[in-house]
A and B are shown apart, each in its own frame.
Chain A
């Protein structure tokens, strides 16, 4: 009698979750092993990371500031995942959104009532505009959205860097590579936290509702699960792809707007801080569930916070990217491994 592994097509939610937790723990164990090899004490660092993020109100507020853009960039990826596509250009749409909001914000006074709504609109439109070409190419020519969305990230970063060192540079001359401070800002919700966080959570809930309870959401889910069946059922798949991708770009653009109007207040190079790329991780951790994105964003923010703590120990902030990659790799492998069950090999005919 022998055993072998058999693949089962569907996995119960509990096993899937266990696979996820196991994958993240395994990745963190790898990181801890590397850190201790580098002569750092992982247990003490871990306690410090958790203490700094969750141990005080100020720590929690800083965590909230990181969670806010991550929820939105995560939603941007999760939306496209539901229709079977990957928007990995969140970074560029984030920058485009911040840029468009800056264009409006620089011309508005601090107490203009229309400033914030108009900046929000401009930011969302900027994000959507940035994904327009990849969207049309995907929907009407079948060009992979993976590469087109990603390549535009570099263009957006160059554009932002150029604008804040060139035409939009702070005329007061003190800051070298930023625009002037934008007068309109989001109302505060504590010492550093602002209304961006509740707004981001609201967007996540709205997106979840849109997908779960509307006809549009149903059509999107069917088109994602089986495009052929969706076409036969009379669902306009192309129109849904266009709508979902533009919406995704708009949400990422909104993330840029909120980061600008709530946290940074000036357009500057690197304002996107990899939030667009980390949003991919957030959406993957959430398995494409819009409410799960909130939990994924908190986890990712804690990781980013760990990077800030590590920096005080002389470790580069880019380490967080490496750790994120490792977790993503383990998660992808774990997701597949949970599909296997050990079964007893039975002999046919003696």
Chain B
């Protein structure tokens, strides 16, 4: 019973980090921009969170600062890819190298030390006493509910139930048609890429302020790349992205619990599970259900810069 509570509780935290980053990537990819810089943005956010709470012991402030740093670097990335229309893959890799390198350089004095303040766990009265599920679901930090419920539902409604969302998806599917219809392609792409990057920065802070809670070089450990892969696996939809993130949270938690309980598998093998799982999950659906390829289809203009004069 404790085992299930432990797995579920860890899975929710680990999945929350991935969910936040994946939601940001859904926004960027829906408007037609591949942001491969998530890993770097998360590193910067992770450090910002730790550094902020070291100065002012408020996890909310640390999270907000990480959102801000993610937004600022997202603006740089968007300026390069949307306004100057540079190669998105290259700029994304550059952002990953820049972010990881910068965070490792600046964060040396914080390495290894635990976070000065972490998100407190809040027990929901009554519900937290439910056996097994109660401690895992209703005795968590408040941000978790925003990540799993408010944000994905809000983004789903925005993308699929509003005119603005229709415009936004049109920009990702056919920027030329959107442009002809009077939709400001560059502005929409710029702001949603910056907003998505901001969420990636927040995911980094959530990692170091709620899940791990400490900073070390390489603390992000490929979670940014897993988030990018999750978006593909989730068919570029916010609700499924969060569900997929939770699934990966469970896989990560199984590895942790296995190590803690001394399961007869080498810890390194258990640590590989999230990466191997991600590879399997983005390959299997397209192989197994060929008829569902349309459901998994990426926005048609994904990765392509839009030049109005070269249509």
A143 touching B94, Cβ below 8 Å = no
Given A159-B268, A280-B93, check contact A333 B86 (CB 8 Å): yes
Q: Hey, what's the 0/1 contact readout for A318-341 against B, CB within 8 Å counting as 1?
A: 111111111011011101110000
The count of chain A contact residues (Cβ–Cβ below 8 Å) is 49
B229 touching A322, Cβ below 8 Å = no
Residues 130-188 of A contacting B (Cβ, < 8 Å): 133-134, 137, 141-144, 146-148, 150-155, 158-159, 161-162, 166
CA distance A150 to B37 in the complex (A): 13
CA distance A146 to B231 in the complex (A): 14
A192 within 8 A of partner (CB): no
Residues 262-282 of B contacting A (Cβ, < 8 Å): 266-269, 271-272, 275-276, 278-279, 282
12 extra A-B contacts, CB within 8 A, seeds A143-B286, A151-B279? A141-B286, A144-B232, A147-B228, A147-B232, A147-B278, A153-B222, A315-B105, A321-B97, A323-B101, A325-B97, A326-B94, A333-B84
B86 touching A162, Cβ below 8 Å = no
Give me 17 A-to-B residue pairs in the complex whose CB atoms sit less than 8 angstroms apart, sorted by A's number.
A7-B309, A143-B283, A147-B282, A151-B275, A151-B278, A151-B279, A155-B272, A158-B272, A162-B266, A166-B268, A322-B101, A322-B104, A325-B102, A328-B93, A329-B94, A333-B86, A336-B87
What is the distance, in angstroms, from B6's C-beta to the closest C-beta of chain A?
Answer: 23
A328 touching B94, Cβ below 8 Å = yes
A273 within 8 A of partner (CB): no
A325 touching B272, Cβ below 8 Å = no
A152 touching B94, Cβ below 8 Å = no
Residues 62-84 of B contacting A (Cβ, < 8 Å): 76, 80, 84
A316 — which chain B residues lie within 8 A by C-beta? Answer: 104-105, 108
A75 within 8 A of partner (CB): no
A328 — which chain B residues lie within 8 A by C-beta? Answer: 90-91, 93-94, 97-98
Q: Hey, what's the 0/1 contact readout for B28-40 against A, CB within 8 Å counting as 1?
A: 0000000010001
A324 touching B222, Cβ below 8 Å = no
Residues 305-320 of A contacting B (Cβ, < 8 Å): 315-316, 318-320
- The residue in chain B whose Cβ has the minimal distance to the Cβ of A147 is B229
CA distance A326 to B40 in the complex (A): 12
- Enumerate chain A interface residues (CB-CB to B < 8 A): 6-7, 9, 86, 88, 133-134, 137, 141-144, 146-148, 150-155, 158-159, 161-162, 166, 277, 280-281, 284, 315-316, 318-326, 328-329, 331-333, 335-337
CA distance A158 to B221 in the complex (A): 11
CA distance A152 to B276 in the complex (A): 7
B229 — which chain A residues lie within 8 A by C-beta? Answer: 147, 151
B190 within 8 A of partner (CB): no
CA distance A331 to B100 in the complex (A): 19
CA distance A310 to B305 in the complex (A): 37
A329 touching B98, Cβ below 8 Å = yes
Q: Hey, what's the 0/1 contact readout for B273-311 against A, CB within 8 Å counting as 1?
A: 001101100110011000000000000000001010110
What is the distance, in angstroms, from B29's C-beta to the closest C-beta of chain A?
Answer: 12
Given A9-B310, A332-B91, A335-B86, check contact A318 B232 (CB 8 Å): no
CA distance A153 to B269 in the complex (A): 14
What is the distance, in angstroms, from B138's C-beta to the closest C-beta of chain A?
Answer: 33
- Enumerate chain B interface residues (CB-CB to A < 8 A): 36, 40, 76, 80, 84-87, 89-91, 93-102, 104-105, 108, 217, 221-222, 225-226, 228-229, 232, 266-269, 271-272, 275-276, 278-279, 282-283, 286-287, 305, 307, 309-310
A318 touching B217, Cβ below 8 Å = yes
A321 touching B101, Cβ below 8 Å = yes
A6 touching B93, Cβ below 8 Å = no
A148 touching B279, Cβ below 8 Å = yes
CA distance A280 to B93 in the complex (A): 9
Q: Indicate the member of B80, B91, B232, B268 with the most A CB atoms within 10 Å.
A: B268
Given A147-B225, A152-B275, A329-B80, check contact A336 B86 (CB 8 Å): yes
B222 touching A154, Cβ below 8 Å = yes
Q: Which 8 A-B pairs have the closest CB atoms?
A: A322-B101, A325-B98, A321-B101, A325-B97, A162-B268, A318-B104, A328-B94, A329-B94
